Amino acid sequence: MAAPAIRPSSACLRYLRSQSMMISSPILSSTRSSLKQNLPLTSCTYRSPSTCIRSFSSMPARQDWLQPVRPEKRKSMVGRPRMPTGGSIRGTTIVWGDYGLRMKDHDRRVSAKQLRTGEQTIHQRLRGERYKLYKRVSANIGVYTKGSDVRMGKGKGKFDYWAARIPVSRIIFELKGDIHEAVVRDAFRLAGNKLPGMYEFVKKGDPPVVGITKLGNGVTLESLKEAKRPVEPKDKVPGQPVAPPMMDVPPQSVATDMDKPPTTVHVSP
């Protein structure tokens, strides 16, 4: 009667496996092959490579619009968003979509949480529809806070949240799809109520905006760049009178009843 086969322990298997990786000898290789034949299939399984490893692709990786890819090299300074009043119309018109949501109020700092809430509101209102939503802003400004009982100085504080500085008349969301305009208008209205400030609904083809002035109806970018007051020519002839000459008629005064009578002063001898 044959004796039952004795299987090696798990510690012995780990030791043989580590030794086989360091030293490749025929004895260990034959022993490992014999052990693999005796072991069940479940114990010889190996861990698959991680799924987070991205294979090579020519397309860029999708970035998160609510958080920058790299952290800030230096802490962001406190300031207000820049207002495009110097003749810039960048970011005030629709580029990819058919409808958009544009900031109408003064420039504001909108947090990433508020932007996420606005996006979720639009998706919830347009549930079941076929559309594509474009985001035109990114939360890449770090906001740092300090406690209420902290003395002055001692640095700027610790990081709190990411935010976006949105100037006036900047497009925030764009939507493209076969949806009725009234439905999209209602979705953007609900999203604007969740965000700080005042917003307006715009369509593709609407004129751009410079600061708070909308171009159109005779208002052009060239007319805004012109001077509001008449400018004297630089090549003016010297000696030319700027004002018309005065008339040789002496000034006349008209007496009225409201004039006070002349006062007389009596001097004693």
> How would you label 16-32 residue by residue, b for 16+ Cβ within 10 Å and e otherwise?
eeeeeeeeeeeebeeee
Contact by Cβ (8 Å): 126, 179: yes
Q: How confident is the model at residue 183 (pLDDT cuts 50, 70, 90)?
A: very high
What is the pLDDT at residue 237?
Answer: 65
CB distance 108 to 196 below 8 Å: yes
Query: Which amino acid is residue 214, in one-letter code?
Result: K
pTM beyond 0.85: no
Out of 151-155, 197-201, 204-208, which region has the weakest mean confidence (pLDDT)?
151-155
pLDDT at 117: 96
* CA–CA dist 159, 68 (Å, integer): 14
- Which whole number is the average pLDDT over 48-70? 66
> What is the pLDDT, as a whole number, of residue 123?
96
201 band by pLDDT with thresholds 50, 70 and 90: very high
Q: What is the pLDDT of residues 111-141, one digit of tens each?
A: 999 999 999 999 999 999 999 999 999 999 9
Greater model confidence, 93 or 255 = 93
What is the arithmetic mean of pLDDT over 138-160? 88
Residue 219 is classified by DSSP as B
Structure token pair of residue 249: 């008629």
Q: What span, in angstroms and rounded, lies between the C-alpha atoms of 13 and 8?
A: 7
User: Do 160 and 111 touch, CB atoms closer than 8 A?
Assistant: no
pLDDT category, 259, cuts 50, 70, 90? low
In DSSP terms, 203 is beta-bridged to: 99
Tell me the pLDDT band of 60, cut-offs 50, 70 and 90.
low
pLDDT at 224 exceeding the cut of 50: yes
Q: Give residue 186's pLDDT.
A: 96
What would the mean pLDDT of 212-227 be, rounded to a whole number? 83
- Please tell me the predicted confidence (pLDDT) of residue 97: 94
Taking residues 57-80, what's their average pLDDT? Answer: 79
C-alpha 240 chain-centroid distance: 56
- Which H or E element spans position 61? none
Give the chain's mean pLDDT: 78
Fold of 99-147+156-207: Aldehyde Oxidoreductase; domain 3 (3.90.1170)
- Counting residues of the chain whose pLDDT is more than 90, the rounded percentage is 33
Task: Say which DSSP state 78 is in.
Answer: P
Q: How many CB atoms lie within 10 A of CB 3?
A: 5
Closest to 166 in 3D by CA, of 142, 196, 186, 187: 196
Beta-bridge partners for 108: 166
For the ranges 15-19, 26-30, 146-150, 190-194, the maximum mean pLDDT occurs at: 190-194
- 6, amino acid identity: I
Across the range 233-258, mean pLDDT stands at 62
Q: In terms of Cα–Cα distance, which of 168, 166, 109, 173 is closest to 135? A: 173
The owner of tokens 């510690």 is: 11
The residue count of the chain comes to: 269
pLDDT band at 248 (very low <50, low <70, confident <90, very high): low
How do residues 20-52 score in pLDDT, each as one tens digit? 665 555 554 555 555 555 555 444 444 444 445
